[in-house]
Structure 1
Amino acid sequence: MAVDSPKIIGNIPKLPTKWATVVIPFFLSFLMSGIISMINMLRNLGWIDGFISLWFHNWMLSWAFAFPIVLLLLPMVRKLTGKLVHMPPMK
């Protein structure tokens, strides 16, 4: 009997484990760019008419830069972290 692979929703299968190295930075850059862009806009403009629309536009622009930058810098950050933190090899 074949074992069904885990599903996200309906018949959409979950990604293999190796994709975590892309999915984690994807969500992290999404959340961080949104939070930081909102804080910066609130500090600089305050709550103005059309704030949400303007913020969303700026957030998506920020995220378009943030995600590839995180992917590029992640190997260097892992290496630097390894110099500061004892990290046994992953199995």
Structure 2
Amino acid sequence: MIPARYAHVLFSLLLSGLMSLLVSLVATLKNAGLTADILSLWMGAWLSSWLLAFPGVLIIAPLVRRLVARLTVTEDRSA
């Protein structure tokens, strides 16, 4: 198991991997169509996009969390 202090890194790794996987599939299909070599095109697009997405999420996620905290209010459940 991974120590909890690395949870933000694991979150960023998984989120960026999955999101870049989906987005690169859509972009590859849109640009190349459903061809015989779609899998190799998609994997090439995914790996290169993941290399940018992972550090991007590491940097952006804390900023987004702060923005969400400012834009939301906690619910008062005592009433």
Q: Same fold (TM over 0.5)?
A: yes
Q: How does 1:5-84 map to 2 (within 5 A)?
A: 14-84=1-71
Query: Separation in 1 of the partners of 2:22 and 2:54?
Result: 14
What TM-score does the superposition give when structure 1 sets the normalisation length? 0.76
The answer (yes or no) to whether the contact 2:16–2:50 under 8 Å persists in 1 is yes
Task: Please give the secondary structure, in 2, of the residue aligned with 1:47.
Answer: coil
**Displacement over 2 Å in runs of 4+:** none
Query: Separation in 2 of the partners of 1:54 and 1:86?
Result: 44
Q: Which runs of 5+ in 1 are unaligned?
A: 1-13
What TM-score does the superposition give when structure 2 sets the normalisation length? 0.86
Q: Which runs of 5+ in 2 are unaligned?
A: 75-79
Instruction: Kindly tell me the number of residue pairs found equivalent between the two proteins.
Output: 74
Query: Separation in 2 of the partners of 1:86 and 1:27?
Result: 28
Structure with more relative contact order (C-alpha pairs < 8 Å, separation 6 or more) = 2
Q: CA deviation at 1:39?
A: 0.8
Question: Comparing both structures, which one devotes a greater share of its residues to helix?
Answer: 2
User: Which structure's CA Rg is the greater one?
Assistant: 1
Q: CA deviation at 1:43?
A: 1.6
